Amino acid sequence: MILDMLELKGGLYPAVPTLYNRKTGSIDKDANRRFAMNLRKKPIDGVAVWVHTGRGLFLSNEERHFILKLWREILPEKVIIAGVGSKMKKVKFGDIDAYVDDAKAMAQEAKVEGADYLLAFPPTPLKKLVRGEDLIIRYHKELGQIGLPVILFYLYEKAGGLSYSEEILKRLFSLDHVVGIKLATLNSVMRMQDLSEFIREKFPDKILITGEDRMFGYSLIRGCQAALVGLGSVLPELQKKMLESYFREKPSFISLMKMVDLLAEALFVEPMEGYIERIEKALSLMKIIPEECVYDPYGPGITDTDKVRIRKTLEQLEAL
């Protein structure tokens, strides 16, 4: 598993959106292919599909099949990380087996379709049950039976995540198939600092991956070794330059971080669930996807203020 960690280190893995067409309300296959072909030309190390940005837990089996097959075809030599979990939002004690089996079925599908890693959605409904911590461990342990390395996902609770305690993390990191963790605390700099220090000190053989779009550069300073971010779909060349400048200790890191922060501050604002459509708007302005695919059926929509801010930011970054 150490080799798996080394494979990911220093990499940029955009969490790609699943593109829907506003007119039809369904997945736009041509737009998704066009987007994938464009991103293939960029300095990325792979992508993450079926994750929060890609609305993975909302996709049908057929939609998941299309998305993963497409990205595997377009990026045959790159790393594919697949988000996996259960669609069940409420779980009673008698439903535990069904909940775990649902997640395992999605994980098995990911393996068959060619994924290299699994990103485990937090099993949020299990926390409220009796012996919830043991059930959380069981969920992650059984995902390991699929035979792919698993990346833990520390997702802020407002987005449906779980605030794993250090005790739970100790137990999870003891599982051989767990190779690392993605941090997405959103705006809790103290929690991000504490977690990164804890993981670096106690589990140096596990990779710390940033999902902190609004603290991207700073999270590298705090010990993150790779990036799995929704932001990565927009101007990935800028973000890859920032990563390389940090790991190579170049003086350009600070100036690049400021530009990446500028982009993040245009896309990741309240309401936070709107970030997916804002990413799509940026891609549309850059002529990468059609305007009718600036549409997230599960999000709050995009405002005129969003559109103006995104355009001005892209102009400032000389992307238009």
User: pLDDT tens digits for 138-173?
Assistant: 999 999 999 999 999 998 887 778 889 999 999 999
pLDDT band at 5 (very low <50, low <70, confident <90, very high): low
Cβ-based neighbours of 166, under 8 Å, separated by 6 or more: 198
pLDDT digits (tens, 9 = 90+) for 20-77: 999 999 999 999 999 999 999 999 999 999 999 999 999 999 999 999 999 999 999 9
Residue 19 pLDDT > 50: yes
What tokens does 300 get? 């709050």
User: Are 227 and 264 in contact, with CB atoms under 8 Å apart?
Assistant: no
What span, in angstroms and rounded, lies between the C-alpha atoms of 44 and 77? 11
The gap between the terminal CA atoms of the chain, to the nearest Å, is: 42
The yes-or-no verdict on residue 274 having pLDDT over 50 is: yes
pLDDT of residue 1: 44
230-244: per-residue pLDDT in tens?
A: 999 999 999 999 999
pLDDT at 186: 83
Residue 3: predicted pLDDT: 47
The rounded mean pLDDT for the chain is: 95
Give the model's pLDDT for residue 6: 67
From the centroid of its chain, how far is CA 206?
A: 18
- DSSP assignment of the chain: -HHHHHHHTT-EEEBPPPPB-TTTSSB-HHHHHHHHHHHHTSS-SEEEESSTTTTGGG--HHHHHHHHHHHHHH-TTSEEEEEE----S---GGGHHHHHHHHHHHHHHHHHHT-SEEEE---GGGGGSTTHHHHHHHHHHHHGGGSS-EEEEEE-GGGT-----HHHHHHHHTSTTEEEEEEE-TT-HHHHHHHHHHHHHH-TTSEEEE--GGGHHHHHHTT--EEEEGGGGSSHHHHHHHHHHHHTT-TTHHHHHHHHHHHHHHHS-SSGGGHHHHHHHHHHHTTSS-GGG---TTS----HHHHHHHHHHHHHTT--
Q: What is the pLDDT of residue 130?
A: 77
> Could you identify the residue written with the tokens 């003086």?
251
- pLDDT for 199 equals 94
pLDDT digit string (tens) for 99-113? 999 999 999 999 999
**Per-residue confidence at 4, pLDDT binned at 50, 70, 90?**
low
Q: What residues form DSSP beta bridges with 47?
A: 80
Residue % of the chain over a pLDDT of 90:
89
